[in-house]
Amino acid sequence: MRLSVAFRHAHLSHASVRRSRAGVKVLNSENRRISDNSAVSYPWVREASSTSGTSETVTSFKSHPRKNDGPLYQSAVCDIVQRSREELKAIRETNPGLKPTLAIIQAGEDDCLLEVNKKMAGKIGLNVMQICLPRQCTEEEVIEEILRLNEDSRVYGIFLHLPQSFLSKSVRNAIKPQKDVDGVSDLNVGRVVLGDQRDGFASPVAGAVLEMLARHDAPLIGKMAVLVGVEGPLKATLQFLLQNNGMMVQTCQWSSKHMQKQIMDLDVVILLETDHKGLPPTWLRPGVAVINLGSALMEEHPDSWEHRAEAESGAGVGPLSAALRMQHVVRSNRRWIQEQQYQPWRLRPLKLQPLSPVPSDIEISRAQTPKPISQLAQEVGLLPEELEAYGNTKAKVHLSLLNRLQHQPNGKYVLVAGITPTPLGEGKSTVTIGLVQALSAHLKLNSFACLRQPSQGPTFGVKGGAAGGGYAQVIPMEEFNLHLTGDIHAITAANNLVAAAIDARILHEATQSDKALYSRLVPSVNGVRCFSPIQMARLQRLGINKSDPSDLTPEEVRAFVRLDLDPEKVTWQRVIDTNDRFLRKITVGQANTEKGHARQTQFDIAVASEIMAILALTDGLADMRARLGRMVVGSSRNGQPITADDLGVTGALAVLMKDAIKPTLMQTLEGTPVFVHAGPFANIAHGNSSVLADKLALKLVGEEGFVVTEAGFGADIGMEKFFNIKCRTSGLKPDVVVLVATVRALKMHGGGPNVTAGVPLPKEYINENLQLVTDGCSNLKKHIQIAHLFGVPVVVALNAFKTDTQAEIDLVCRIAEASGASAAVQCHHWSRGGRGSVELAQAVKEVASQKNHFQFLYNLQDSIVEKIRTIAQKVYGADDIELSPEAQAKIDYYNQQGFGALPICMAKTHLSLSHMPEKKGVPTGFILPIRDIRASIGAGFIYPLVGTMSTMPGLPTRPCFYDIDLDPVTEEIKGLF
């Protein structure tokens, strides 16, 4: 049974900490000045002779004893302490208030060795934490304490003051090597054996022995030494340290029959006394150096632990080893600080050998063996504690990285957008991946791709996955396209918790009196009633400054318990991550248990949830929780907005989302890093990956690196929202836009026939047709102009297909550059990987280095109507807008509630610059109809619904799931791509 450890203040100095099961008490260490007057006199050196005792002696190698050897070793201690103090002072200049701690784990409550370490810690300015375990503690108890200290950010050194029998391999290796200041772990001992201690620590006891010997005039080379009774890591460390300094070393046990003969002619005897043994004086020749390690180590016999002579604790190698131990703690702290700083990348790209013809996406993905995600993280400068692995190929990254690298300059910020897409897709994700593969693997520039997580609706519907394609994709593509790390599931759960809370609250308010509601909302627990923190916040919003539930008046109780949500004005919808057209309008509450409280509502696709938009725009946990609380779910009967805070659900939502807020790290086919995070639809929401992923990546790539992020659909939707919404939120400014186009898409915009996924292409898209290309380039020109509205330069990436002719490719590039693009290049990443996008990478590098004049399209203080009109006219090319009566009523309501200064997020078809999907090219002369307007107050934008825009996609006649299956033997997924 483990004993609790009491605090014995009478035995603690200011530099000590005692820990029990009840907790840890830290006392500030004293910073005493070191001088000759304050130094302790250590009687280390005495002459060994035939008449003197030698239980603990050190002598010179000379035949005559040295004079004043005590001051010599005082000087050694003072030198080490002074160096450590100066090093710690330098550390504190950039890290004020830092006071590293040495943790001592011991069995029993002996303070002898603690006192020596306390004094040294106090002189240097360190803390000492003493953890006293029961004398008969188990290995598991020791390891438990070690593991706790490994994760303690205050502790930079762990010292096991335990008998040799306690120091098993498991115990020693439980210590993190960087905190193993006593050098007992196999890794640190191995570094000594190899003669490389740059990243590790050698035993301070062994270091003290070497320091003592080195301070004599006689050279060590060629001298003979014996280790008597020394075992374990200390034995190996001593042996190799002495040998590395030119000495010849033997070992001997106390039980050896030939001990006298073995040590008779030696120059140095290093011993560890057990059973109070000593060496008979007659065994030692005059002038031999004898060093006893007993004052620095715990002996096996418990009786000696607390009754060691006072003089012994202040003599021998004890003080010197304590000084070296403190030096190790300071250096451990310095190394930790160096590790926290930005680290240059050591990226090892994966080799890619493209095949022709190009296999399917899933075959390419499976043919490449991804690096372990921990290896990739290390290569790009992430620390182990910043990584939360989900298997071997993906991991969450902790937001603490932003604090660690807060002073690191950002890299270049590149946005990939596109022309108006066709049903076949133009390959923005593929271009994004190909570009970062080219930048990192071929141009040797740090680069990160930041992508959205794909919704399972399109994956199983018509579009398929979004991992890229060909030899430019994220791997493993099955994991990327399916559940990934569960972020969308977390959003679905959080969203539907709000929906459940809404209907439950409407029901309970309709069927209970004020008194009954109050007694249930503020129940008595063990005879005590109190408000929860979120209820206190609601009281404050109501202007009720009371904290005792019994103090509220009946009027205050009524205001507190009744949200009075109008069922007809609930704006919050349930969500599911499936394309399901029959959920576009539903009736809930039809069971008899709901007492006739049925109402009409609907489902949206999960990625259209406001919570998804919040995830993509938030900058941290506190901000996310505040945004979740501000979400407006409906209105009361008197027209007041009702929020998630009013429902009391905010804290629960934050709990559900606490892991989803961390971006997911993956890799491309060429082993370059990718952040996958958030996935709002671009035609419904703002269509960009998270602000957090971009910010983390911009710090990691360094000032000369590149972060390439993708906006959904065309520049009229995803890019416009990236600039006006995401950049406003993040404060980040893009350096260049990569605009993706394809010859076949331009032919469609030039008047070519419609195409359908899975159906053979009409001949216009297979054969050369320069006229269609020329006419279709009007759409490309318009998107270049849209980018220029924001003052950002454009590089056109022409995603080449095998049906394209060189004449068509050259024509597009000429027109693009004539229309204002800074460069236009063809890309072959789909068939060649990063090597096929090197020209694009070079163009992006050159253009991104140029200054731009980024600006927003509108002022937030403009009216809601004017902001909508500005987007419609300047971006879409509309003559004007037309508001439905319902939309106008919503605008009036939002202005009344103070929401008029929010940015606009247009929900519009992605298949045309207009609201009419069939209108290709550059439509003109149309009026943009606004049929409804909604508000995402938590996310921070107003979103008008244009035309017949639906927030729940439907399945086609033949969805993608027809081709998807699982091999029950190999568990391989078939038909995903």
Specify the pLDDT at position 21: 37
Give the C-alpha separation, 688 to 452, whole Å: 7
Give the C-alpha separation, 211 to 488, whole Å: 61
pLDDT at 502 over 60: yes
Residues 92, 334, 463, 919: which is the catalytic one?
463
| C-alpha angle 873-877-879 in degrees, rounded to nearest 5 | 60
pLDDT band, residue 372 (cuts 50/70/90): very high
**Mean pLDDT of the region 54-63:** 35
Q: Report which residue type is found at 542.
A: L
CA distances (Å), 479 to each of 81, 396, 680, in order?
54, 14, 19
Residues 428, 662, 726, 908: which is the catalytic one?
428
DSSP letter string, 137-195: --HHHHHHHHHHHHT-TTEEEEEEE--GGG--HHHHHHS-GGG-TT--SHHHHHHHHTT
Give the C-alpha separation, 866 to 884, whole Å: 15
* Least confident range of 24-28, 254-258, 546-550: 24-28
Q: Report which residue type is found at 234.
A: L
Specify the pLDDT at position 298: 57
Specify the pLDDT at position 952: 76
Give the C-alpha separation, 9 to 18, whole Å: 9
**Mean pLDDT of the region 262-267:** 82
Position with higher pLDDT, 215 vs 61: 215
Residues 223, 325, 331, 452: which is the catalytic one?
452
Give the C-alpha separation, 552 to 852, whole Å: 59
Percentage of the chain lying above the pLDDT 90 cut: 62
DSSP letter string, 69-110: HHHHHHHHHHHHHHHHHHHHHHHHHHSTT---EEEEEEES--
pLDDT band, residue 99 (cuts 50/70/90): confident
**Mean pLDDT of the region 370-383:** 96
DSSP letter string, 871-904: IIIIII--SEEEE-HHHHHHHHHHHHTT-TTS-B
DSSP 551: G
pLDDT digits (tens, 9 = 90+) for 111-166: 777 788 888 899 999 999 999 999 888 999 999 999 999 999 899 999 998 888 88
Specify the pLDDT at position 272: 80
DSSP 907: B
Position with higher pLDDT, 17 vs 807: 807
pLDDT band, residue 5 (cuts 50/70/90): very low
Specify the pLDDT at position 466: 67
Catalytic annotation present for 463 = yes
pLDDT at 215 over 80: no
Tokens of 669: 């086919």
pLDDT at 237 over 50: yes
* Least confident range of 258-262, 543-547, 572-576, 605-609: 258-262
**Mean pLDDT of the region 716-742:** 97
Catalytic annotation present for 235 = no
Specify the pLDDT at position 756: 77
Give the C-alpha separation, 330 to 616, whole Å: 41
pLDDT band, residue 302 (cuts 50/70/90): very low
Task: Map tokens 């005082």 to a residue.
Answer: 74
Instruction: Tell me the torsion sign for CA atoms 752, 757, 763, 767.
Output: positive
Tokens of 540: 């404050």
Is-contact 826 807, C-beta < 8 A?
A: no
pLDDT at 67 over 50: no
pLDDT at 309 over 50: no
Specify the pLDDT at position 217: 62
Mention every residue, 6+ apart, whose C-beta is less than 8 A from residue 230: 238, 251, 270, 271, 272, 293
pLDDT at 696 over 70: yes
pLDDT digits (tens, 9 = 90+) for 621-642: 999 999 999 999 999 999 999 9
**Mean pLDDT of the region 662-675:** 98
Specify the pLDDT at position 331: 95
Give the C-alpha separation, 829 to 450, whole Å: 18
* Least confident range of 93-97, 901-905, 924-928, 966-970: 966-970
Hey, how many other C-beta atoms are within 10 angstroms of the C-beta on 778?
A: 16
pLDDT at 41 over 90: no
Give the C-alpha separation, 389 to 48, whole Å: 60
Residues 713, 790, 899, 941: which is the catalytic one?
713
**Which helix (H) or strand (E) covers residue 536, if one does?**
helix 533-541
Rounded to the nearest integer, the mean pLDDT of the chain is: 86
Position with higher pLDDT, 338 vs 785: 785
* Least confident range of 7-11, 244-248, 274-278: 7-11
Residues 830, 899, 926, 977: which is the catalytic one?
830
pLDDT at 617 over 50: yes
Catalytic annotation present for 452 = yes
pLDDT digits (tens, 9 = 90+) for 282-301: 788 787 888 888 766 655 44
Position with higher pLDDT, 209 vs 960: 209
Catalytic annotation present for 277 = no
Is-contact 721 613, C-beta < 8 A?
A: no
Catalytic annotation present for 682 = yes
Question: Which residue in 653, 611, 660 sits closest to 397, CA to CA?
Answer: 660
Which structural domains are found in the chain, ordered by start? 72-335 (3.40.50.10860), 361-485+659-849 (3.40.50.300), 488-657 (3.30.1510.10), 864-945 (3.10.410.10)
Tokens of 907: 């929900």
pLDDT band, residue 459 (cuts 50/70/90): low
Is-contact 272 293, C-beta < 8 A?
A: yes
Question: Which residue in 773, 632, 792, 630 sits closest to 711, CA to CA?
Answer: 792
Catalytic annotation present for 713 = yes
Percentage of the chain lying above the pLDDT 70 cut: 87
pLDDT digits (tens, 9 = 90+) for 937-951: 999 999 999 987 777
DSSP letter string, 29-70: PP-PPP-TTTSPP--------SSS--TT----SSSSPPSSHH
Give the C-alpha separation, 944 to 915, whole Å: 12
pLDDT band, residue 485 (cuts 50/70/90): very high
pLDDT band, residue 316 (cuts 50/70/90): low
Residues 59, 430, 729, 870: which is the catalytic one?
430
pLDDT band, residue 461 (cuts 50/70/90): low
**Mean pLDDT of the region 295-324:** 56
Specify the pLDDT at position 308: 40
pLDDT band, residue 260 (cuts 50/70/90): confident
Specify the pLDDT at position 157: 96
pLDDT at 50 over 70: no
Give the C-alpha separation, 793 to 847, whole Å: 7
On the CB side of 879, how many CA atoms lie within 13 Å of its CA? 4
Residues 722, 723, 801, 926: which is the catalytic one?
801
**Sheet strand arrangement including 101-107:** 23-26, 16-20, 127-133, 101-107, 155-161
Residues 48, 467, 682, 887: which is the catalytic one?
682
Specify the pLDDT at position 951: 74
Give the C-alpha separation, 785 to 776, whole Å: 15
DSSP letter string, 669-731: TTS-EEEE-----TTTS--B--HHHHHHHHHHH-TT-EEEEEBSS-IIIIIHHIIIIIHHHH-
